[in-house]
Amino acid sequence: MDWSEWTNHWKENREKRNQIWLEYYDSVKHEYEIQERENGSFTMYLKNYGICDFFPKGNKVLIRSKSKWIINGFEFIVKNLKNKL
């Protein structure tokens, strides 16, 4: 695999992660207060963590109060939104 193939593969994966998130977001946006931001991230309040920013292309969550990054952000968001119900 050369560099250009790797770059294309990486970009495709970012777009896939974003598409998966957008499908999930469409199904829950009426149940939760989730704000879409201009930079492609989404801001929401999670019960146990406070205000968090989710970056779907990078699959990461920033917990603002702790300035802590969470990898596997999609799973983290889904788990914590379900805990809110």
Note the pLDDT tens digit of each residue in 29-39: 899 999 999 99
Rama region for 40: left / alpha / beta (φ>0; ψ in -120 to 50; rest): left
CA dihedral angle for residue 71, residue 73, residue 75, residue 77, rounded to 10 degrees:
140
pTM of the model: 0.88
The pLDDT of residue 67 is 97
Per residue in 11-53, pLDDT (tens digit) is 999 999 999 999 999 999 899 999 999 999 999 999 889 999 9
Q: Determine the structural domain holding residue 60 and report its residue range.
A: 3-84
Percentage of the residues of the chain whose pLDDT score is greater than 90: 76
Question: How many separate domains does the chain show?
Answer: 1
What mean pLDDT value characterizes the chain? 92
